[in-house]
Amino acid sequence: MTSLLDSLRQYTTVVADTGDFNAIRTLRPTDATTNPSLILKAVQQDAYRPLLAETARAHRGASTAELADRLLVAFGTRILSIVPGRVSTEVDARLSFDTRATIERARGLVAMYEAAGVTRERVLIKIAATWEGIQAARALQAEGIRCNLTLLFSLPQAAACADAKVQLISPFVGRIYDWHKKSAGASWDEAARAGVNDPGVQSVARIYRYFKRFGIETEVMGASFRNTGQILALAGCDLLTISPELLTELAGAEGTVQPVLQAGMAGEAVERVPTDEVSFRTLLNEDAMAGEKLAEGIRAFVADAKKLDALIEAARA
C-alpha cells in the first residue's frame, strides 16, 4: 500500500525543513530548507556539535559573522551530498532592512558554496520578504544567484517577489493559522477551519492561483505547517517544505493523495496587485496579520542568530 508521503510526491516536490541531515537521509526529500533557528537546534545535538567545532578550528581568524555563514554552508554542503536537488541557506535576519548588506552577504554565501565545489544552481539564498529584501533578491537574481523569499504572509509580498523575478517564495501556513486562531479566541471552530478552510492554506492557495493566472514562473513552496491536514490541502503546490516530524507521520500513514492545486487552474478573475514601494508598504500595513507576523518572524530569527553567535564564540574560546 502506498504511503501518503509517496503519493504526495507524485504531485508536489517534497522538501525537508530541517538542518538534521541524518533525518534527511532517512526521509529522502528532493530539496531541503534551513534557517538559523534550525541550525541552532541542530548544533545543540551531540551528532552535530563536532561540525561546529570543526568549522571554528578551520577558520580561527574569521569574524563571528563569517563563521556563522561558514557553518550554514557546512550544513548545506553535507545536505547536498544527500538530496538530489537544492538547499536553501538564509541570510542573517539582522540584515532584513538593509538591501546592500543582504546582497553582499548572499554573494559571500554563494562564493563559499562554490569554493566547496557546489554550483550556484543548487543553492537558494533565503531572504525575508521585506521591501529591502525583495530588492536585494531582484539584484541577486540578475546576477544568477537564485533566491527563496521567506516570512511571506500575503499576496502583496508574493506579487512583489514575482515582479523581482525571484526563483521561489515560501508563503507560510502555520503562522497564519496561529494568528487567526489567537485572534478568534473562544469563537475559533477548529473543525470548520481545517483543511481547505484553514486561513493559512487559503492564503497559499490564493497566491498559487494568482501566479498561475498571470503566468508567473516564480515557484510557490508552502511552508510552516502545524499538521498533515494543512499539507494535504495543498497537494499539487509546486513544492512543500515539511518538518521531519510531519514527513514521518505522512510516511507512516497509508492512503492516496489527490491534487487540490493544479497548474492549469487560473483562479478567480482578479486584477494585478501593484508592486511599487508605496503600494507594497501600504498594503502590508493594512494587513494586520501579515505585518505582525513578518515583524515577529524577523525578531525570532534575529534572537536565534544571536544565540548561534554565542555558541560559535564558545566553540572557538
Whether the per-residue pLDDT at 263 is higher than 70: the answer is yes
Q: Which residues of 43-82 are buried (b: 16+ CB within 10 A; e: fewer)?
A: beeeebeebbeebbeeeeebeebebbbbbbbbbbbbbbeb
Strand partners, 58: none
* Tens digits of residue pLDDT in 239-260: 999 999 999 999 999 999 999 9
Give the range of the structural domain holding residue 286, as residue numbers without chain letter.
4-316
Whole-number percent of the chain with pLDDT over 90? 92
- pLDDT in the model for residue 265: 65
- The cell numbers describing 82, all together, are 544527500
Active-site residues, by number, are 126
pLDDT category of residue 266 using cuts at 50, 70 and 90? low
d(CA 163, CA 29): 29
Choose among 91, 85, 128, 133: nearest CA to 109.
91
pTM given for the model: 0.96
Average pLDDT of the segment spanning 131-158 = 98
Whether the per-residue pLDDT at 4 is higher than 60: the answer is yes
pLDDT category of residue 316 using cuts at 50, 70 and 90? confident
Choose among 63, 52, 93, 103: nearest CA to 305.
93
- pLDDT in the model for residue 131: 98
pLDDT category of residue 182 using cuts at 50, 70 and 90? very high
- pLDDT in the model for residue 36: 82
* Tens digits of residue pLDDT in 296-314: 999 999 999 999 999 999 9
pLDDT category of residue 1 using cuts at 50, 70 and 90? confident
Choose among 55, 73, 66: nearest CA to 123.
73
In the chain, the number of structural domains is 1
The CATH number covering residue 265 comes to 3.20.20.70
- The cell numbers describing 314, all together, are 564558545
* Tens digits of residue pLDDT in 52-76: 999 999 998 899 999 999 999 999 9
Choose among 19, 20, 22: nearest CA to 35.
19
Whole-number percent of the chain with pLDDT over 70? 98
d(CA 280, CA 278): 5
Whether the per-residue pLDDT at 237 is higher than 70: the answer is yes
pLDDT category of residue 44 using cuts at 50, 70 and 90? very high
Whether the per-residue pLDDT at 268 is higher than 90: the answer is no
